[in-house]
Amino acid sequence: MPLSSPGVSGPYHYSERDARCGVDDEERVWPLDSLDLLDKLGTPVWLAIASAHSDSTSPGGFQNTVRPIYQNAACKRSLGSFRSQGDIKLRLNNQTLPEKQNRKDLYKQLLPGTVHRSWVQAQSLLSPVFDGLPEDQRHLTLLQQVLKVETSPGLVETCQLNQVEQVASEESARLAAMHHLGPIHTFMFSQTGRLLMANKRGRERYVHLNNGADICLLDLFQQGVYTDMQTTPEAAFEEAMRHIFVQKEEVHRFAMPNTSRKHPNKARWTLFEMWPINDPVTGHPAVLTKLYNVTQQKQMEAELQTQKEALARQLQQLEEQKQQLEHYNATIQEEKDSLLQQNTSLTERLEAVVTEKRPSHQFDGQTPIDKTLDLLQNLIMGRTPDNEETVALFHLLSQANVDLRQPVSLEEQLMEDNDMDADVGLAMVQLLKGNTSRSPPPPTSSSSGGIELPSSPSTPQEMYSRSRARRSSMVSTSSITSEASLDVELEFGMTACITLQVERMLQDAEKNWQFNMFKFAEETNGNHLSVLTFHYIKTAGLCSRFNLNEAKLSRFLCRIERGYLNNPYHSSLHVASVVQMMHMIMHHGGLLRRRVFDELMILACYISAAVHDYEHGGVNNDFLIQTRDRLAVTYNDISPLENHHLAAAARLMSEPKYRFTDGLSRADHRTLRTAVIEQVLGTDMKKHFNILSRFQNLYQRSTTTSSRSGSRELKENTFQRRDTTSSRSSSMELPEDLPHRAPPRHSIDIRQNTSSRHSVDISRAHSVRPSGAAAGQSSQLARGSTSSSDNSVWDNVSEENKGIIRQVALKCADIGHLAATPDVHKRWAYLLEEEFFLQGDREKQLGMAVSPLMDRQNKGGITRSQLSFFSIVGIPLFKSMTDIFEETRPMLQGVMENYKAWEKDAAMASTPFASPRP
């Protein structure tokens, strides 16, 4: 029991069984006979069932009930025995409404699991229950608690356990009443003005008024100085008593002038406060009084006001200091974030470097142009070039068939790489250089196996019919009645798919580097490419800027989308993802913020991305060339697919109902067409090293020109590059920032270690940071600053070089799935593998040698070459982009994450690179 029971032990304490079972006071049930041990207590204790219930016939609308259960011996001696139940009910009914309300409030304050201490009036609370309560016992302190008691076998009731803690004297009762109403009161007077109680300060302050005897309320009024002859102490006293006892005001205040004791000639004001109260001893009306020195209070208020103003000034100073500290903290945080970003960048560059073993083979991605520039740079710097390397370069450049923009001995390097099996090496050669060693099929191959070779359609309608026939959602092309009805169908489908969820996803596509195009295609019912591209062009303000016909633009995009066949990989779904990634590179990769592109080039980028695989037949250029396809013949074996994508899209756009660019001037139209042609042709992987090399050497020209001033100091500050020999070493040079010849070489270090057969060194070919003006310009380009001075750097870049940037941007977007989330990226990889397998199936039926990694009967397809593709193509491409445009770093982070996933799969697979399909 929580109630104070010293020296008592018995059944009501916890037993060991209760402790084990976790029983507490709230749940404990007490047998009635176990309460006899309470007789050992010297204070009164009793148990009763008390409550207040609604009763419309009783005053106040409720009635109290009390049923006594048990009392100890001390209770019988002090309070008497319990009255009969009928007598208790009668006495409770006869109580006044305030007495009933006090009892009801006492019941409400009692909560289960708590002990409640209250100061109560004994006569009102106990006399209806006990027959021996002394008449002089006025107040007492009561402890109460709720218990569950088994009052009879099988009957458990909730009871109140009451214990008298202390019986109060009259003096303590009155002091308690004064303190209960407020601790500020000094005196308690009766209705006639007789002193009932005074606290210690009141007695000491006014004991002199009546020679040590008790004072009355009138004595206090007589301390005042009344200048008005009509006002006397007696009249003021009567007026105050009338406000309290007749008008029953809650509080009465008035100011009374009197003479200062310290300065008799000086008057002061005293504020009189009077509060009505009932005498807790007699129950009769009484009054509480308190006197304040108003003059002293005013002085204290003035001092406090002065202190308040001083504190306000200090607070303002502290607030200013706080703002300064917040500004300093914000500056420090910005510097911290910048340092963290630099640290992250350096960490990412270090992640790909393996230092356990020297590489067994290292791919040299330098082109003859790169090697020549290195030699010339060493000469400008005053360094003596290595004779053997100079002679080797001379013989290399003297060869008649040398490709200046292709890595030296590309095919030999790939085939001699011991870290790649033969099929992977052949696949990389075919991808990056082309393969003409296979024999073409016999002339009758078109009829063998019933395989239809891809060929250039004679009309746009023919191509579109073929596309519709291969779409699973359509039965046959016979349902197409006319061009007009087809256009209406397409435009209606594009408009009808715009739902609230699609709008939300379009907003996400505006800013998400890893947007899930598969989910978007499901929501748009196959209109993903047209909806997304139209949204980008429209929201960029290009329609209004160039007076584009929106209806024709919509119709054109719908027909472009339907022109993509249902290939596993090269479909409208892939193209839509390219458009989305191109948008991210332009708008969030720093290209637009630094004015690399103008608005017409932004339109060119969107159109290029949307048409770059238009009417793709699901086979590569080598297949078209080997089969002497009409496309290969038409375009002289030079990028037949890319040329056809452009020509077919241009033919479609030339039709009046699709010609949305009529608002462009002739010059703008020509510029737009040229830009689209350059970008789409640049997606041919045979031109990969050519374009990447130009991109990486983009800023050397201005550096070389600036160094011709003849100043040795300028030369040394401008060119601080690595030695050409260091590029082939396993040591690593990390720059503090991007050099003036900003993008690093695309050299790749394929290393052999315990975790993977392939590892990428994406920082080996970095050069040392230049100083001076060249370093400042290069740092601006690398950091992606948006100041006007930094933008002016790009204003001096020629349109030709900006075209190279656009080509690289589209190339990054074209293989953008390398930066997708791992699950989405692998889904794309296996779709591409299936498309290659389908080409291999066609090659078998045509009697051709199956292209490397395209035979589904062998273990693994192109997924076996992912590490090589990442190392040689993917990572150098994205790394070069990031080194110029720092804002594109999320792409590189995604690429490295997927590269590590392939490394993990390769390490776990029993057959190298043969990872399970998702």
Query: β-strands 139-152, 29-31: how paired?
Result: parallel
Check: CB of residue 632 under 8 Å from CB of residue 440.
no
More confident residue, 751 or 345: 345
Rounded CA gap, 154 and 142, in Å?
30
Rounded CA gap, 86 and 500, in Å?
74
Indicate if the pLDDT at residue 637 is higher than 60: yes
Which region among 186-195, 280-289, 752-761 has the lowest average model confidence (pLDDT)?
A: 752-761
Indicate if the pLDDT at residue 633 is higher than 90: yes
Check: CB of residue 83 under 8 Å from CB of residue 77.
no
Check: CB of residue 306 under 8 Å from CB of residue 200.
no
Assigned token pair, 728: 């082939």
Q: Quick one: pLDDT band at residue 569, thresholds 50, 70, 90?
A: very high
pLDDT (average), residues 836-865: 85
pLDDT for 125:
86
Q: Quick one: pLDDT band at residue 782, thresholds 50, 70, 90?
A: very low
Rounded CA gap, 256 and 628, in Å?
120
What does the CA dihedral 251, 256, 261, 265 come to, rounded to 10 degrees?
A: 160
Alpha-carbon separation of residue 289 from 370, 443, 840 (angstroms): 102, 124, 108
Sequence-ordered alpha helix ranges (H) in 589-665? 599-611, 621-626, 630-634, 640-654
Assign 447 to helix, strand or coil: coil
Alpha-carbon separation of residue 238 from 186, 233, 254, 286 (angstroms): 20, 9, 13, 15
52: amino acid identity, one letter: A
- For 69-109, the pLDDT digits (tens) are 999 988 998 889 999 999 998 998 888 888 888 888 877 77
Indicate if the pLDDT at residue 755 is higher than 60: no
pLDDT (average), residues 794-815: 87
pLDDT for 788:
45
- For 113-156, the pLDDT digits (tens) are 778 877 777 778 888 999 888 876 667 778 888 888 888 888 99
Indicate if the pLDDT at residue 596 is higher than 90: no
pLDDT for 227:
63
pLDDT for 588:
93
pLDDT for 815:
93
Length of the chain as a residue count = 918
Alpha-carbon separation of residue 903 from 569, 750, 862, 864, 891 (angstroms): 23, 12, 15, 11, 18
Check: CB of residue 767 under 8 Å from CB of residue 743.
no
Burial of 343 (0-12, 13-18, 19+ CB in 10 A): exposed
Rounded CA gap, 604 and 596, in Å?
13
What does the CA dihedral 879, 880, 882, 885 come to, rounded to 10 degrees?
A: 180
Non-local (6+) Cβ contacts of 695 within 8 A are 743, 804, 805, 807, 808, 880
Report the phi/psi class of residue 58: left, alpha or beta, with left for phi > 0 and alpha for psi in -120 to 50: beta
Which region among 79-93, 769-783, 854-868 has the lowest average model confidence (pLDDT)?
A: 769-783
- For 155-200, the pLDDT digits (tens) are 999 898 898 876 666 676 677 767 666 666 678 889 888 888 888 7
Assigned token pair, 650: 């241009």
Three-state SS sequence of 25-89:
CCCCEEEHHHHHHHHHCCCCEEEEEEEEEECCCCHHHEEEEEEEEEECHHHHHHHCCECCHHHHH
pLDDT (average), residues 727-748: 33
Indicate if the pLDDT at residue 676 is higher than 90: yes
